[in-house]
Structure 1
Amino acid sequence: MEREATAAHVEAKQAEVEQLNAELASVYDGLDTLLEATLNVDDFVDLEKLRRTVRHPPFAGDHLRKPVPPPAVLPDPEAPVYRPPAAPSGLFGRKKKLAEAQAKAESDFEVAVADWEREIRQLPLERKRLAERHANQEVERQQSLQAKLDQYEEDYARRERAVAEHNASLDQFIANLSYGAVDAVQEYIGIVLANSVYPEGFTVEHDATFDPANAELALKVQIPAPDSIPRIKTYRYVKASDEVTPTALSQKDAKDRYSGVVHQVALRTIHEVFEADRRNLVQGIALEVGTNAVDPATGREAYVPFVAVAASREVFSELDLSAVVPAATLEHLGAALSKNPLGLVPANGSGVRRS
């Protein structure tokens, strides 16, 4: 039993290692295919799909449209009827018994008549009370119905107004974009890049400025710092210590992977902008890719640029991104590249030619 328990424990640890390595491989695959992942995606954003239509919920007060049922009619109570007592039985005292029975019957009849008369007198008041209560309930129903109708109409108008304002704003946005208005171009590029799906935990931020004079987009892309990328080659189970331990990735492999991430993000971003801009408003892109990280020399957080490149639409459209080596492509475009992004070595973009 001990051997079986030990074997089961080892098997569980091995399964844990396999799961960890599968998750690690998935993370690395996502990072290593950043450029490839976007090539089969149409980055164009159809702004017409942002148009809204009004959807009104059903009116919740329909039950109030039905009048309150009137109260049941109170009938007049039936008048009491005197019923003489039956003749007494027996041979002795029949006269006395009959007199006593008649006296009781007459007394009961008098009480019944008095009760009946009292009910007759109270009946109009009770009928009036029920009628007034019904009238009040009907007034409350009508008031509640009107209040709900007023609220529904107010909400209806508000929804109509909100959608109309949104669509009018969208129409203006589309019109401004067709004219190449700066704010509209920058907003559209922001929408395009916000739609770009990166691996979970890999957050990319963009800042775009459009210059209509030369149709150039200045684009700054901020990616996660090197320490956010795993540096584990694999996990293994050490039976002697009964621990699952990571094996570190070599410095070269870690450097190559992070550099690859940087280069892929640069090409991916340029590709997404040019592909999404079907109006050809942007003819050139001046791109910078970097990160915010703690400078080991100063201990303070600072921005470190890794890539600075300028690309024209014409030149970039000639590239087959499905078959390129990103670093070589960036060099072909005249980019300034960091020699070691993993080590937070900045690129010198002062000599980068314009697009």
Structure 2
Amino acid sequence: MAKSLLSVTLKAMKAAEKDRVRRAKAAERRSLAERREAAQQAKAYEAKVRKAVIADERDRTAYEKAVKAAHAAAQQSEVERMSSEIDAVLDDLEGLLAATIDVDDHIDLETLRKPFDTTPFDMPDLEISLVAPKRPTFPPEPTYLEPDKPKGFFGKKRKLEEARAIARQIHETQKAEWASSVSALSEEYKIQLAAYDKAEAERIETLAAEKDRFRQELDDHNRSIDQFITNLSYGDAEAVQEYISLIVENSTYPDHFKVTHEFSFAPETAELRMSVTIPSPDKFPATKEYKYIKTSDEIRDVPLSQMEIKKRYASVLHQVAIRSLHEVFEADRRGLIRTISLEVGTKAQHPATGRLDFLPFVGVSAERDSFMEFDLSGLVPLATLKHLGAAISKDPVGLVAVDVTGVRKS
């Protein structure tokens, strides 16, 4: 079964959910955006005031004071924005495990089907009929205008006949020009109508062909889902491997915290061996907040203490380990995976060799039935890892790896 069919479908669903969360966060920070806009207006006012020529010294002093106040307000607003962003990042990292507790990680494969009646056609423009050419509007046929009767006492009859002859000649010329114009417009409309009929017929023919192609692709996709579900029910190793890939793809971490997974499934022992890579310590947030120093007119970051960074990085590490075990076991309702042997670490230069390598900071093995009895809302990740007999780095920020050879593997 082509992996892309399932992955693309799941990624689309995942993208929609991330978009919903993104909109919610945007709404929460709307007040901050309003303050930022006010700060920008203050800066604009500041620039305007600086250019103004104020004759009265008393007014000048007042304006200069206002400028300084506006500038300070703008700087403080920027500090609030920057601090809010770092707070959001730190909150995300502190809640990595909590973010998955209320989420059902099971993937209902039935939802990956694409019914023909409800799946949007991928070439909707073909469903729109072409616009037929408008019938031409013909100019009115010229009418013969009887000339006025000549004035005077002599030769009125002769003059009238001459005027009538000229009028008839003008009328015939106008009528010929009119007939030619009508004929040209009619011929042009005939050509446009023929081109339209041809194009519309081609559209209808193409639409039918593309609908058949679309239906066939949906049928192929749905058959692949059927086959996948069947294979998974039999515990087929490739199907289990594919299902696990869907699970990890469906695991939504913050955009600023990239997590990757590598894994292999051994059907003979029903064991999943998984390696999870998190960002290295040097990419971990090191700022606690921002402050505006009015005396020097600068914004400075307030760094996290080294102890705080170690505490937060270790917390993230432990949360990811418990979360990874939980997501796989919870998603695997069939109980195909009995044991998970997990390593969580980062890719960095090995202190001993200087080479870029995977450094494990946590190594743990968990058995499905006992792990699923844990209450994630009440546990402490570090305590749980110790309870499972995990190998845990004492200093992951210092890139001190653990020996995972002692972690039980079937």
Question: How far, CA to CA, are the matches of 1:250 and 1:118 in structure 2?
Answer: 99
CA root-mean-square deviation: 3.4
**Once the two structures are superposed, what CA deviation does each residue of 1:272-322 show, in whole Å capped at 9, x if it has no partner?**
000011111111111111111133454432211111111110121232222
Question: How far, CA to CA, are the matches of 2:186 and 2:76 in structure 1?
Answer: 83
> Partner of 1:202: helix, strand, or coil?
coil
2:112 is the counterpart of 1:50: yes
Closer/same/farther in 2, CA of residues 238 and 114 from structure 1, 3 Å limit = closer
Which deviates more, 125-134 or 220-229? 125-134
- Residue of structure 1 in register with 2:86 after alignment: 24
Question: 1:106 pairs with 145, 149, 161, which one?
Answer: 161
Shift of 1:120: 8.8
Q: Verify the 8 A CA contact 2:93 2:316 in the aligned structure 1.
A: yes
Shift of 1:13: 4.4
2:377 is the counterpart of 1:312: no
- Residue of structure 1 in register with 2:17 after alignment: none
- Residue of structure 2 in register with 1:93 after alignment: none
Question: How far, CA to CA, are the matches of 2:84 and 2:170 in structure 1?
Answer: 93
2:378 is the counterpart of 1:323: yes
Question: 1:264 pairs with 312, 319, 331, which one?
Answer: 319
**Once the two structures are superposed, what CA deviation does each residue of 1:94-145 show, in whole Å capped at 9, x if it has no partner?**
xxx22xx333333344455666778899999888766655543442232122
- Residue of structure 1 in register with 2:97 after alignment: 35
Q: Which amino acid aligns with 1:60?
A: I
Name structure 1 gaps, 5 residues minimum. Answer: 90-96
State the TM-score, normalized to the length of structure 2. Answer: 0.72
Closer/same/farther in 2, CA of residues 108 and 24 from structure 1, 3 Å limit = closer
Question: How far, CA to CA, are the matches of 1:233 and 1:69 in structure 2?
Answer: 73
Closer/same/farther in 2, CA of residues 297 and 247 from structure 1, 3 Å limit = farther
Question: How far, CA to CA, are the matches of 1:129 and 1:5 in structure 2?
Answer: 73
Question: How far, CA to CA, are the matches of 2:81 and 2:228 in structure 1?
Answer: 48
Closer/same/farther in 2, CA of residues 341 and 129 from structure 1, 3 Å limit = closer
Shift of 1:229: 1.1
Closer/same/farther in 2, CA of residues 236 and 140 from structure 1, 3 Å limit = closer
Shift of 1:177: 1.5
- Residue of structure 1 in register with 2:226 after alignment: 171
Question: How far, CA to CA, are the matches of 2:316 and 2:94 in structure 1?
Answer: 7
Q: Verify the 8 A CA contact 1:68 1:141 in the aligned structure 2.
A: no
Q: Which amino acid aligns with 1:203?
A: K
> Partner of 1:349: helix, strand, or coil?
coil
Shift of 1:216: 1.0
Q: How many residues align?
A: 342
Closer/same/farther in 2, CA of residues 68 and 295 from structure 1, 3 Å limit = same
Question: How far, CA to CA, are the matches of 1:149 and 1:141 in structure 2?
Answer: 12
Name structure 2 gaps, 5 residues minimum. Answer: 1-61
- Residue of structure 1 in register with 2:18 after alignment: none
Q: Verify the 8 A CA contact 1:71 1:134 in the aligned structure 2.
A: no
Q: Verify the 8 A CA contact 2:138 2:182 in the aligned structure 1.
A: no
- Residue of structure 1 in register with 2:55 after alignment: none
- Aligned runs of 1:119-134 on 2, under 5 Å? 132-134=187-189
2:305 is the counterpart of 1:250: yes
Closer/same/farther in 2, CA of residues 345 and 142 from structure 1, 3 Å limit = same
- Residue of structure 1 in register with 2:284 after alignment: 229
Q: Which amino acid aligns with 1:55?
A: P
Shift of 1:33: 2.2
Question: How far, CA to CA, are the matches of 1:325 and 1:331 in structure 2?
Answer: 10
Question: How far, CA to CA, are the matches of 2:148 and 2:137 in structure 1?
Answer: 38
Which deviates more, 30-39 or 274-283? 30-39
Q: Verify the 8 A CA contact 1:68 1:137 in the aligned structure 2.
A: no
**Once the two structures are superposed, what CA deviation does each residue of 1:23-73 show, in whole Å capped at 9, x if it has no partner?**
333322221221122111111111111212333447322544xx9758869
Question: How far, CA to CA, are the matches of 1:228 and 1:44 in structure 2?
Answer: 31
> Partner of 1:247: helix, strand, or coil?
strand
Instruction: Work out the percentage of aligned pairs sharing the same amino acid.
Output: 42
